[in-house]
Structure 1
Amino acid sequence: MGRDLMRSGPPGGPDTAGSQAGAGPRPAGTPKAVGIVWALLALNTLGSAGAKTIIPLPRSLIQLATMGALGAAFALALVLNLRLRIRASAFVFLLTLLLVPSVISSANLEVGYGALFRCTRLALFVGSLWLLSRWWDGSMTFVRYHIRMYFAVLVLVAAGLVVSPGTAMPEYYGGRLVGALWPLTPPQIGQYAAVIIGLTVLLLLGRRTTGAGAALVIVPSLVLLAMTHTRTATLGLIVGLVPAIGSLVLTSAAARRFFAWTVLCATVAAVVFSSALQAWFLRGQSQENFSNLTGRAKVWDALLAAPRTPGEKALGTGLGDKSFGGLPIDNSWLAVYHEQGLIGVTIVAAILIVLGGVALLRPPSLPRACAIFLISYVAISSYTEAGLGDASPYLLHLALAASLLAAPAAAPLSTAAALRRRIPLWARR
């Protein structure tokens, strides 16, 4: 993936002195095993339902692997943080609050025992984030973990495409790219590709990787993104990068040049390839089908029109599979309303508002730009994708944003300095 991009710190080694923008002193460093915990959390959010694979994998086996990954992540995080040292985090605190309506509504068992199972999964996910918060210091460490994990997933997708092109681009998905070795849907692949493309572009502008290393990630990811025909991921990438790069324009000449060239190339492409871009965007659908968001609007209308008790309006019906009437909801806000009620919607809105507000108050820096990109991407995707109310890649993206917005950890005092603090001023003379 490029040596500079894969390193755990900026060029020249980790910034222990805090001289790099957004980096804080990390005397003890971040253990390498923390990256394993992050990868296990990402593995858990890959899901167990999707496309048909080359070798049929029983769903129970996939669920065992994903849940085993979450259990291993929590256990390893606990081993790494036996003293339970955590950092204050409004993001994780609000996620913890989200557990309350989830557990209360799921305890009614209206959606079966699977609701309590999903509550346990969410609790382990949030608990792992609390344990990892000890190493959230505003550095780029977790960004590199994020890119590595999802690039590895894309490599798996590309391998499936090479081994069996017909399975990887099936007719029942309209010839869109799916996971042939692991059951991944086109929106999932598009999401992973868009996120690591955006983060890698920002690393390149921040001079935290080389052009060759960035190209090794961006070029194949762009090809896979185009093959998925995922409009949400594409829009999220574009819309997310605009404010992120805009936050660097005043302090980075590279960001200004990139922004200017991007605008120029986009304008030329819109004029020259307008018909091709329109055809790609419509994916062969009629204008009517496109206007109701591929049938999503019908499910949304039915969900909103369904009768609900006051308790269901406030707390929801319990954590389910993000579907209504057997059809996917495909909207984070309506999914949260359906499963966790208005209380859940309020908490999720507070998460985005708090993260966005903190990002706006931070001085310009590369970590801030990455956080803005992630928050913007998740906000755009929430309209046509579900996941903000349960353990999902979207919550992991927001957790990464929270780690980037955390205040740098203070360097511990030396023994001499600590002793001087204990000596009264009158005794030092």
Structure 2
Amino acid sequence: MHGDLKRGVLPGGPDTTVTQPGAEPRPAAGTPKAVGIVWALLGLNTLGSAGAKTIVPLPRSLIQMVTMGALVAAFALALALNRRLRIRPSAFVFLLTLLLVPSVISSVNLEVGFGALFRCARFALFVGTLWLLTRWWDGSLTFVRHHIRMYFAVLGSAAVGLVISPGAAMPETYGGRLVGALWPLTPPQIGQYAAVITGLTVLLVVGRRTTRGSAAMVIVPSLVLLALTHTRTATVGLLIGLVLAIGSLVLTSAAARRFFSWAVVVSVVAAVGFASALQAWFLRGQSKEYFTSLTGRAKVWDALLAAPRTTSEQVFGMGLGDKSFGGLPIDNSWLAAYHEQGLIGVTIVAAMLIVLTGVALLRPPSLPRACAIFLISYVGISSYTEAGLGDASAYLLHLALAASLLAAPAAAEPLSTATPLTTPAVPRRRIPRWARR
């Protein structure tokens, strides 16, 4: 599958040097392969430890040890790869760093427990690793391919669990929706990963950066798993994200125009011929009243907003927690940020999305820009029914990928003329014929 998804090596050298007059530019080295390992370790850290019961019971403490160990390993490996601490300016990572301020201020209150400070340390390591990785953010598709491979491996574990034990992979406690039977993954998680790599792979096909056969091996199983999760947010985010991303290429890409036309035809046929089946899948057997209340989320949101808070709690929040209120999940990134990081946290999260959107709109049409638009729009849509924009999560990793795609290509490292690598060859003196006798 991955034979055609090899990354293209583009310039990614240091960005702080200036070519001196008379100096020849030194060819920039490509992104080290170990950077993909760092990215995969960050993804492993964001998988979480809460979810369905697995075939082989895994203690939550063991899962937390693995995920936290993955983050520490990611930071250590990134530091080893970037020993000179060369970083590139990034407004997105800078805003993430600012988000640490209200997180720490609200978490130092020991009434919320030491868990909040531990989450702050985890968030700081996550942000620090991203800073170290910015050295290789050059607007290429390198990290897109790392992203696809990483989450395809996660989906592979869910598929293997489904084959081994269908009952454990689709338990009645989750309404028969697909969960992780080998690793505790929830249906929204699996749906999110499937939707994201499906969208990115479709864009690679449209941009002719991979073959159709290779892409089909990613897209088809991912869509099957997405359908088995019955995740509405991921499905809507995938469709709207692809419309916006491919729409950004329509004026400059004939392949995008053809794909867009075929997608419209297929959508109309599916809406007419399979309307009842699509409606049944979308409702998941729920009543329309339960559906309009967002499966009970609205009650939690109303209770959270109605809860009394001091001025300090309104400004800085209650401290980093498990994204729940009253023992129930908040399932909204904005309310979760308000609850844990206050109004300052909500403002910074909004600034992150606004900055990324603004930069994407200012960039000329290109495939990396289209991938960034897809990721930003998907995360923006998912933020309404999923939490994660205020802490280390897969959603922040999606936005970090978008930031890497919107980064300007790095400058080539200059070759100093003062210390030549080789001694210039001395031209041989030609001897006249009469002198050779």
Is TM-score (shorter-chain normalized) higher than 0.5? Answer: yes
Identity across aligned pairs (percent)? 81
> 2:62 corresponds to which residue?
61
Distance in 1 separating the partners of 2:418 and 2:381 = 49
Deviation at 1:402, TM superposition (A): 0.3
- State the 1:212 CA deviation: 0.3
* Equivalent AA in structure 2 for residue 4 of structure 1: D
Q: Deviations over 1:388-424 (max 9, x none)?
A: 00000000000000000000011223445999xxxxx
Residue 4 of structure 1 corresponds to 4
Deviations 1:92-146 (A, max 9, x none): 0000000000000000123211000000000000000000000000000000000
Return the offset for 1:239: 0.8
Tell whether 2:49 aligns with 1:48.
Answer: yes
1:224 and 1:240 map into 2 onto residues whose CA distance is 19
Tell me what 2:16 maps to. none
Counterpart AA for 1:83: R
Alpha-carbon distance between aligned partners in 2 of 1:68 and 1:174, rounded to the nearest angstrom: 33
Contact residue 2 and residue 212 of structure 1 kept, 8 A = no
Letter in 1 for 2:119: R
Which residue identity is paired with 1:74? F
Deviation of 1:236 (Å): 0.5
- Contact kept, 8 Å, 1:110 with 1:318, in 2: the verdict is no
Per-residue deviation, 1:4: 1.2
Q: Which amino acid aligns with 1:132?
A: L
Q: Is the 8 A contact 2:158 2:180 kept in 1?
A: yes
Task: State the partner residue of 2:292.
Answer: 291
**Partner Cα separation in structure 2 for residue 202 and residue 307 of structure 1:** 46
Match for residue 191 of structure 1?
A: 192
For 1:22, the equivalent position in structure 2 comes to none
Cα deviation code 1:329-379 (max 9, x no counterpart): 000000000000000000000000000000000000000000000000000
Distance 1:386 1:245 in 2: 27
C-alpha RMSD of the superposition: 1.5
Secondary structure of the corresponding residue to residue 43 of structure 1: helix
Question: TM-score, length-normalised on structure 2?
Answer: 0.92
Q: Which residue of 2 aligns with 1:424?
A: none
User: Do residues 220 (structure 1) and 206 (structure 2) align?
Assistant: no
Provide the rounded CA distance (Å) in 1 between the counterparts of 2:374 and 2:246. Answer: 8
Q: 1:45 to 1:275 in 2, by over 3 A?
A: same
Instruction: Give the aligned partner of residue 425 of structure 1.
Output: none
Kept in 2: contact 1:2–1:216 (CA 8 A): no
Is the partner of 1:167 in helix, strand or coil? helix
**Aligned residue number for residue 422 of structure 1:** none
How many residues align structurally? 408
**1:319 and 2:320 correspond:** yes
User: Could you say which residue in structure 2 is the equivalent of 1:255?
Assistant: 256
Tell me which amino acid in the other structure corresponds to 1:90.
Answer: A
The one-letter code of the counterpart of 2:347 is T
Q: Who is 2:274 aligned against? A: 273
Task: Output the CA distance in 2 between the equivalents of 1:339 and 1:175.
Answer: 32
Q: Point out the structure with max Rg over C-alpha.
A: 2
* Structure 2 segments unaligned to the other structure (5+ residues): 14-25, 421-437
- Segment drifting more, 105-114 vs 213-222: 105-114
2:414 aligned counterpart, secondary structure: coil
